Amino acid sequence: MQRYNNIIFDFDGVIMNSHIVKTNAFYYVFSKYGKNIGNHAVKLHIKRMGMPRIKKFNLINKYYLNNNLKKRDLNKIEKIFKDYVLKKIFKMKINKNLLKFIKNSKNKNLYISTGTDQEEIKKICKKMKISRYFLEIFGSPKTKIMHINSIIRNYKIKKNDILFVGDSLSDYNAAKYCGINFICKSNSENKSLFKNFKVKRIYKFLQLYNF
């Protein structure tokens, strides 16, 4: 790990186990249209982890609800979803081993790149009292590719000096597209996603010290 002076972390499923909360939230907001719709929503969400949720809402509406939901309906779903997620996340704690690693990495530049809304992720990090550990915190509507390129451009960093720690194919694809290194943080929802990919994996944050 010492050869990387710049580390980008995804948030859900990496910084926090909030990926489970968001999966439950997809079922919560869409199961009102039927349990089957709720299950389809969950499957689409997991398959497209890392994509901004409003894009997932639109796809669910298109594929499973025949575009019957209007903009006002989607806005209502967005608010219910956000309230549900924030209420759950604010009760969670960051993995103690990850927090220890972050605190011990004062000589490194740390960043967050997530598909969560920019202002929302900043609010979460402030609430969790971790904002000070990260040089920049990036969210949507900008993409992860845009986040990575901004870091490279603004801080004049060589690509081989950046590591992306993520848990989704969108993280992997963004890192690959930008030509930076990637490590997969394995969790309960991404085991099958990477079965056809040769990627380095970590199962516990203590393993970060081995890279």
CATH assignment at residue 99? 3.40.50.1000
Q: Which pLDDT band, with edges at 50, 70 and 90, does 211 fall under? A: low
- Residue 1 has a pLDDT of 44
Say whether both 68 and 158 belong to one domain: no
Do 99 and 79 share a structural domain? no
What is the average per-residue pLDDT within 152-157? 95
For residues 188 and 117, membership in a common domain is answered with yes
pLDDT(156) > 80: yes
Q: Are 122 and 139 in contact (CB under 8 A)?
A: yes
Tokens describing residue 53: 């949720």
- Whether 2 shows a pLDDT value over 60: the answer reads no
pLDDT, tens digit, 9 for 90 and up, residues 123-150:
999 999 999 999 999 999 999 999 999 9
From the CB of residue 9, how many other CB atoms can be counted at a distance below 10 Å? 23
Sign of the dihedral defined by the CA atoms of residues 194, 171, 51, 130, in that order: positive
Interval 165-198: pLDDT, tens: 999 888 999 999 999 999 999 877 777 777 777 8
CA pair distance 181, 196, nearest whole angstrom:
18
- How do residues 17-63 score in pLDDT, each as one tens digit? 888 899 999 999 999 999 999 999 999 998 888 788 999 999 999 99
Beta strands in the chain (DSSP E): 6-9, 109-117, 136-140, 162-166, 181-185, 200-202
Give the residue from 89, 108, 130 where a domain finishes. Answer: 89
- Of 89, 120, 141, the last residue of a domain is 89
